[in-house]
Amino acid sequence: MAKKGKLIGIGVGPGDTELVTLKAAKVLKSVPVVFSPKSSKEKESIALSIVRPILEERKDYKRLMIVEPIFPMIENKKELEKIWTSASELISQYLNTGRDVAFITLGDPSIFSTYSYVQKKLIDKYEIETIPGITSFTACAAAKNKALVEQNDILTIVPKIDDRLNEILDYSDSIVLMKASRNTSRLESTIEDKKRPKEIYSVQNCTRENEKIIEGFSNEKPYLTTTIIQFSDD
Ligand SMILES: C[S@@+](CC[C@H](N)C(=O)[O-])C[C@H]1O[C@@H](n2cnc3c(N)ncnc32)[C@H](O)[C@@H]1O
């Protein structure tokens, strides 16, 4: 029986191709299959746009297999489960023929990434390697030229606010609000009204051509928007 291929989860960083690690680029220069989920048929995958310049340098670029399944942005767990299962089955088909598959993911694969669900489904069946990437929120802090946490500061990463908000606001020193496009104005004023001295800034499209740093929450909220709240109580 043919040796099975290896699944390689690759974090491609926040947007600038120069922030793809050397290790990730090395794999992308030779892997036979690149798996790059996207949220809709019409939109290009952001992760793929980041690594395209690296892939295009390959002599065999025209023969490279780029698979772009649709992973819609939905919250229905049953539907998501079905999508992850069929994506895992599709990846298995390539792995079973002995080909390695690179699953590319925006930022770092361990932070709110679709790769993690597929990784869980395939972990006992195939060899898997995960290559970390620069995550969006450290890139946002770098764009602002300001540390996220110092000394004993506690950093909290929040994908969606729920009824834990007040505790988060009491006990965190820095808060990263990801997927900021889901923030409501009520949530934003609750945070602004919190009686702790603080700095709030948002970064849109960090490290990409249209990067924007905004003081406070941003009114416009493209998908790639992250808000950082830093308390300074001393
Ligand atoms: C599904 S999560 C993926 C996070 C990714 N795995 C990471 O490590 O950054 C998508 C969210 O990450 C944040 N994000 C990713 N890239 C970004 C960028 N270039 N600029 C600002 N925020 C970004 C946004 O909050 C966006 O809604």
* CA contacts within 13 A on the Cβ side of 190: 15
Alpha carbons 135 and 38: distance in angstroms, whole number = 18
Alpha carbons 107 and 90: distance in angstroms, whole number = 23
Note the pLDDT of residue 180: 79
Structure tokens of 124? 């006992």
Annotate 28-56 with b (16+ C-beta within 10 A) or e (fewer): beebbbbbbbbeeeeeebbbbebbbebbe
* 21 in contact with ligand 1, CB cutoff 6 A: no
Residues of the chain with pLDDT under 50: none
Structural domains in the chain, sorted by start: 6-131 (3.40.1010.10), 136-231 (3.30.950.10)
* 106 in contact with ligand 1, CB cutoff 6 A: yes
* 225 in contact with ligand 1, CB cutoff 6 A: yes
Give the containing element (helix H, strand E) for 66.
strand 65-67
d(CA 175, ligand 1 centre) in Å: 14
Nearest in space to 148 (alpha carbons), one of 232, 220, 211: 232
Note the pLDDT of residue 1: 66
CA distances from 131 to 9, 128, 139, 145, 187 (A): 6, 10, 17, 26, 35
Note the pLDDT of residue 201: 97
**Amino acid letter for position 2:** A
Alpha carbons 156 and 173: distance in angstroms, whole number = 8
Pocket perturbation via mutation, ligand 1, pick of 136, 137, 202, 225 by most ligand atoms within 8 A of CB: 136
Q: What does pTM read for this prediction?
A: 0.94
Check if the beta carbon of residue 10 is closer than 8 Å to that of residue 105. yes
Alpha carbons 51 and 169: distance in angstroms, whole number = 37
Alpha carbons 63 and 179: distance in angstroms, whole number = 35
Note the pLDDT of residue 162: 78
Nearest in space to 24 (alpha carbons), one of 38, 10, 35, 13: 10
Quote the longest CA-to-CA distance of the chain: 65
* 111 in contact with ligand 1, CB cutoff 6 A: yes
